[in-house]
């Protein structure tokens, strides 16, 4: 046996799954494993077999990239290997450290025994990719743990720790010391037994409660909003109880095949891979040294600053919170405390932990406290002059290698950087509101931002549990630049014949978390009003412009905060109520603009709003503001409530077909003019019969 992943210790063969970074069970790994198993069965000196993972974990699961390809089922398939293991007279023991996830855990359940290190985590996260565990997980787990525990683990998709796994019957032993010696000891002990347990030969116990499956079905159908995977998981678990093992496996395979070929799972897998791709930065080698950001200061304790400070405190990082005035500082700290108290009262955080987190935030009014920090994040008013003054002061005070970041929503990061003597140290970190909750950060690379600054910023963002996506400088960066197109079309649609409610309902039915106008009322209409007033003088007069939002602001309707915006709100209630006053404003604006109102259906609303995003997204991609189309999808799904099961606007356009999308955009261009000028990249891809995704997997957008 030549494989470097095979060795024998005192009669126990040790086979290592070795496929960095997560030992995914790709075809090569399965071939190597099968070969090692054959060798151990053939060797008369081997009495038992231990399977381990190389590096930091046992196995992270199947190779997600290989789904829907012949390689995923090429022999030896995981089913074939498990079948052979079950027939083995020599005991096969899975020794689990780090993680055993998905196919990794399914594989471990196919072994006779499982021993886990005390820090190990075991889980079946397939549901998060719109799938079910298709390697026998839905049939073996209920046989080991009972249906209740199995359903919870499979439907939630979250891993359990070793101690819980032991209690559930998922593992046979927990090792507190080093895993390999414990596994060898365990193997020697069980090798003398005449027979070894085979999970598939056990009977899955039916639930105690009558109608349990029916009740669970209702519960899941009510909470999963039409997503098919959770109900399919339940159906498979029921099959584990009602059908013989082989039939249950057949059923699981059939259901898995339906899901894996469905658009929803493809979209979720696209986003899963998109997150990994977002960490890669073209032109910056993976081995670029990453400076450790240990101390952070946030300037401004307003809406964003306080949330940003909490994000660091939550991750165990000390943060200085600087304000200009004592009252503002007190207000910010009170918001922070209230936020933590709410989490504690919901039972999601221990009171002592909340206190520890609050204690990590050092409030100050003294600018000099920022002299030694590794990173400063500015979150003061959105005003170029204020920001420039601040960055000049930071430049004069902060240590030479400090990162100077701005949380601006749309100001030019290059212009801010230019007032300093070190523009290479300046970067945008565009957090989303509420910053302590939202995962997305647009990391805005300035013209001169140094690679080391980008890498360190991405790393610290990930360290605090965020999802950083690298973008370039342009008005509104990626998310806000695109959303402006969408918002404009939604407002035009009002004048053309719809109501805020009709537009919002159509977008919500499409899958968006919130409609355009309810969202606007939540965020407040006054902020964009003041920027529109600033732009009024330079706005080209020949371009169509909807005055609806301006008129509502003139009436003092700033959204929820004033009890009225595009809708009205009753005291203490956030439910939007259609308002005849708004309808009148819309009709007056339409008349004044000479727009004839007509019947508009939901499909048209969705196309106008979503294709506006796609067309702008294509321009963003073409201008290399992002590295790949999947970065845009991540931004939209994680920052703007775009449904994950549609994969993001660019993936969605790919699934519709870029030729069809392009054709509609051309029609809108004819009907509505310059706003709909088709993105040249979209035209090119449509004509070549290609997709945005194909671009992402290699070719440069240029
Ligand atoms: P805010 O008005 O709630 O808070 C700004 C805070 O900065 C105030 O407390 C003010 O006292 C303080 N401040 C002003 N000048 C200061 C100075 N020189 N030194 C110290 N403190 C000073 O504003 P916000 O909504 O938190 O926005 C802050 C920044 O974040 C803006 O650039 C904004 O565009 C951006 N942003 C906002 C959102 C959002 O949804 N609110 C989202 C992303 C980014």
| List 106, 252, 489, 496, catalytic entry | 106
348-376 pLDDT, tens digit per residue, is 999 999 999 999 999 999 999 999 999 99
Ligand 1 atom, smallest distance to 305 CA: 26
Three-state SS sequence of 218-272? HHHHHHCCCCHHHHHHHHHHHHHHHCCHHHHHHHHHHHHHHHHCCHHHHHHHHHH
Element (H, E) at 95: strand 92-96
1-25 pLDDT, tens digit per residue, is 557 899 999 999 999 999 999 999 9
Mean pLDDT in the chain? 95
Identify the residue whose tokens are 């991405």. 458
Told to judge if 126 belongs to the known catalytic residues of this protein, a careful annotator would answer yes
Q: Which residues line ligand 1 (CB under 6 A)?
A: 299-305, 322-325, 328, 379-382, 386, 390, 407-409, 430-431, 433
Which pLDDT score, from 0 to 100, does residue 702 have? 31
Residue whose CA is closest, atom 44 of ligand 1?
409
Residue 671's CB is within 10 A of a number of other CB atoms, namely: 8
Residue whose CA is closest, atom 15 of ligand 1?
380
Distance (Å) from CA 378 to ligand 1 centroid: 8
Mutational test site, ligand 1, from 303, 441, 525, max ligand atoms within 8 Å of CB: 303
Residue percentage of the chain with pLDDT more than 90: 91
Distance (Å) from CA 299 to ligand 1 centroid: 8
Identify the residue whose tokens are 């999963």. 224
Distance (Å) from CA 559 to ligand 1 centroid: 20
Q: What is the DSSP letter of 93?
A: E
Which pLDDT score, from 0 to 100, does residue 701 have? 34
Which pLDDT score, from 0 to 100, does residue 286 have? 80
Q: How far is it, in rounded angstroms, from Cα 336 to Cα 311? A: 11
386-432 pLDDT, tens digit per residue, is 999 999 999 999 999 999 999 999 899 999 999 999 999 999 999 99
Residue 150's SS3 state is: helix
Question: Helices (H) and strands (E) in the chain — how many of each?
Answer: 29, 17
Q: How far is it, in rounded angstroms, from Cα 294 to Cα 318? A: 8
Distance (Å) from CA 380 to ligand 1 centroid: 3
The DSSP secondary structure of 425-436, one letter per residue, reads GEEEEEE-SSTT
| Tokens, residue 314 | 């939550």
Instruction: Say if residue 577 is exposed, middle or buried (CB neighbours under 10 Å; 0-12, 13-18, 19+).
Output: exposed
| Under 8 Å between Cβ of 8 and 45 | yes
Distance (Å) from CA 556 to ligand 1 centroid: 23
642-666 pLDDT, tens digit per residue, is 999 999 999 999 999 999 999 999 9
Residue whose CA is closest, atom 31 of ligand 1?
382
What interhelical angle do 658-672 and 602-622 show, nearest 10?
A: 100
Ligand 1 atom, smallest distance to 325 CA: 11
Asked if pLDDT for residue 86 goes beyond 80, the answer is yes
Q: How far is it, in rounded angstroms, from Cα 7 to Cα 4? A: 8
What mean pLDDT do residues 434-446 have?
97
Q: How confident is the model at residue 287 (pLDDT cuts 50, 70, 90)?
A: confident
Which pLDDT score, from 0 to 100, does residue 697 have? 59
Residue whose CA is closest, atom 17 of ligand 1?
324
Mutational test site, ligand 1, from 381, 386, 406, max ligand atoms within 8 Å of CB: 381
| Under 8 Å between Cβ of 440 and 635 | yes
Asked if pLDDT for residue 698 goes beyond 70, the answer is no
| List 126, 442, 491, 495, catalytic entry | 126
Ligand 1 atom, smallest distance to 433 CA: 40
Residue whose CA is closest, atom 39 of ligand 1?
433
Residue 402's CB is within 10 A of a number of other CB atoms, namely: 23
Which pLDDT score, from 0 to 100, does residue 582 have? 98
Closest CA to 234 of 108, 141, 328: 141
Which pLDDT score, from 0 to 100, does residue 11 have? 96
The DSSP secondary structure of 475-499, one letter per residue, reads TTTTHHHHHHHHHHHHHHHHHHT--
104-158 pLDDT, tens digit per residue, is 999 999 999 999 999 999 999 999 999 999 999 999 999 999 999 999 999 999 9
- Domains of the chain in sequence order: 6-260 (3.90.226.10), 296-476 (3.40.50.720), 480-695 (1.10.1040.50)
213-232 pLDDT, tens digit per residue, is 999 999 999 987 778 999 99
Which pLDDT score, from 0 to 100, does residue 2 have? 56
Residue whose CA is closest, atom 40 of ligand 1?
433
Total residue count of the chain as it appears in this document: 702
536-571 pLDDT, tens digit per residue, is 889 998 899 999 999 999 999 999 999 999 999 999
| Under 8 Å between Cβ of 132 and 256 | yes
Which pLDDT score, from 0 to 100, does residue 700 have? 37
Distance (Å) from CA 188 to ligand 1 centroid: 64
Residue whose CA is closest, atom 19 of ligand 1?
324
Distance (Å) from CA 589 to ligand 1 centroid: 33
Q: How far is it, in rounded angstroms, from Cα 503 to Cα 612? A: 15
Distance (Å) from CA 50 to ligand 1 centroid: 57
Residue whose CA is closest, atom 29 of ligand 1?
379
594-628 pLDDT, tens digit per residue, is 999 999 999 999 999 999 999 999 999 999 999 99
Which pLDDT score, from 0 to 100, does residue 695 have? 83
| Under 8 Å between Cβ of 90 and 49 | yes
Q: What is the CA radius of gyration of the chain?
A: 29
Mutational test site, ligand 1, from 298, 377, 379, max ligand atoms within 8 Å of CB: 379
Mutational test site, ligand 1, from 297, 298, 305, max ligand atoms within 8 Å of CB: 305
Ligand 1 atom, smallest distance to 332 CA: 9
Q: Report pTM.
A: 0.90
Which pLDDT score, from 0 to 100, does residue 220 have? 93
Which pLDDT score, from 0 to 100, does residue 421 have? 98
Identify the residue whose tokens are 């986003």. 271
Q: How far is it, in rounded angstroms, from Cα 413 to Cα 661? A: 33
| Under 8 Å between Cβ of 643 and 511 | yes
| Under 8 Å between Cβ of 39 and 1 | yes
Residue 531's SS3 state is: helix
Q: How far is it, in rounded angstroms, from Cα 493 to Cα 139? A: 51
Q: How far is it, in rounded angstroms, from Cα 78 to Cα 26? A: 10
Backbone torsion region of residue 661, taken as left when φ is above 0, otherwise alpha when ψ lies between -120 and 50, otherwise beta:
alpha
CA distance readout (Å), 387 to 23, 321, 406, 536: 47, 17, 8, 23
């Amino acid at each position: 046996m030549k494989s470097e992943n095979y060795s024998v210790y005192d009669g126990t063969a040790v086979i290592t799954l070795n496929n960095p970074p997560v030992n995914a069970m790709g075809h090569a790994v399965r071939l190597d494993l099968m070969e090692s198993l054959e060798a151990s069965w053939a060797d008369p000196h081997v009495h038992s077999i231990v399977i381990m993972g190389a590096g930091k974990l046992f196995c992270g699961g199947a190779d997600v990239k290989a789904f829907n390809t012949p390689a995923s089922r090429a022999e030896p398939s995981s089913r074939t290997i498990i079948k052979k293991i079950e027939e083995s007279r020599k005991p096969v023991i899975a020794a689990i450290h780090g993680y055993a996830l998905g196919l990794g855990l399914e594989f471990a359940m196919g072994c006779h025994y499982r021993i886990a290190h005390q820090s190990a985590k075991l889980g079946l996260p397939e549901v998060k990719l719109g799938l079910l565990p298709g390697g026998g997980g839905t049939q073996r787990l209920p046989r080991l743990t009972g249906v209740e525990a199995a359903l919870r683990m499979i439907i939630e998709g979250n891993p359990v720790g070793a101690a819980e796994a032991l209690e559930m019957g998922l593992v046979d032993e927990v090792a507190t010391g080093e895993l390999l010696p414990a596994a060898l000891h365990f193997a020697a002990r069980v090798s003398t037994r005449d027979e070894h347990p085979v999970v598939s030969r056990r009977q899955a116990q039916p639930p105690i409660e009558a109608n349990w499956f029916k009740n669970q079905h209702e519960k899941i159908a009510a909470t999963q909003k039409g997503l098919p995977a959770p109900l399919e998981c339940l159906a498979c678990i029921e099959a584990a109880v009602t059908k013989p093992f082989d039939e249950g496996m057949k059923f699981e395979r059939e259901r898995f095949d339906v899901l894996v070929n469905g658009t929803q799972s493809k979209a979720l897998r696209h986003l899963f891979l998109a997150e990994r791709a977002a960490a890669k930065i073209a032109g910056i080698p993976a081995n670029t040294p990453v400076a450790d950001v240990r101390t952070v200061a946030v300037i401004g304790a307003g809406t964003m600053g306080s949330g940003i400070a909490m994000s660091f405190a939550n991750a165990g990082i000390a943060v200085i919170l600087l304000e200009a005035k004592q009252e503002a500082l007190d207000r910010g700290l009170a918001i922070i405390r209230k936020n933590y108290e709410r989490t504690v009262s919901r039972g999601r955080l221990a009171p002592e932990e909340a206190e520890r987190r609050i204690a990590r935030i050092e409030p100050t009014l003294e600018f000099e406290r920022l002299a030694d920090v590794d990173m400063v994040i500015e979150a003061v008013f959105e005003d170029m002059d204020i920001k420039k003054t601040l960055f000049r002061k930071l430049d004069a005070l902060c240590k030479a290698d400090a990162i100077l970041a701005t949380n601006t929503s749309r100001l030019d990061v290059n212009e801010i950087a230019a007032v300093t003597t070190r523009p290479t140290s300046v970067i945008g970190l565009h957090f989303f509101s509420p910053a302590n909750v939202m995962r997305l950060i647009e990391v805005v690379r300035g013209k001169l931002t140094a690679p080391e600054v980008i890498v360190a910023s991405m790393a610290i963002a990930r360290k605090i549990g965020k999802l950083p996506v690298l973008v370039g400088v342009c008005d509104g960066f990626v998310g806000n630049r695109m959303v402006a197109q969408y918002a404009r079309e939604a407002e035009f649609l009002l004048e053309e014949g719809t109501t805020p409610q009709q537009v919002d309902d159509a977008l919500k039915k499409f899958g968006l978390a919130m409609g355009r106008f309810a969202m606007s009322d939540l965020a407040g209409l006054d902020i964009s009003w003041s920027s529109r007033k600033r732009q009024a003088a330079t706005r080209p007069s020949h371009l169509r412009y909807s005055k609806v939002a301006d008129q509502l602001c003139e009436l003092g309707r700033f959204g929820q905060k004033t009890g009225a915006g595009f809708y009205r709100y009753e005291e203490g209630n956030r439910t939007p109520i259609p308002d005849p006053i708004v309808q009148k404003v819309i009709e007056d604006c339409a008349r004044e603009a000479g727009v004839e109102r007509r019947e508009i259906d939901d499909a048209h609303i969705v196309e106008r709003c979503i294709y506006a995003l796609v067309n702008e997204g294509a321009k963003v991609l073409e201008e290399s503001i992002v590295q790949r189309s999947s970065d845009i999808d991540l931004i939209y799904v994680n920052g703007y409530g775009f449904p994950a099961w549609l994969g993001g606007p660019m993936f969605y356009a790919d699934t519709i077909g870029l030729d069809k999308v392009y054709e509609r955009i051309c029609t809108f261009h004819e009907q509505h003019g310059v706003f709909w000028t088709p993105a040249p990249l979209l035209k090119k891809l449509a004509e070549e019969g290609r997709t945005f995704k194909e671009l992402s997997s290699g070719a440069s957008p240029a």
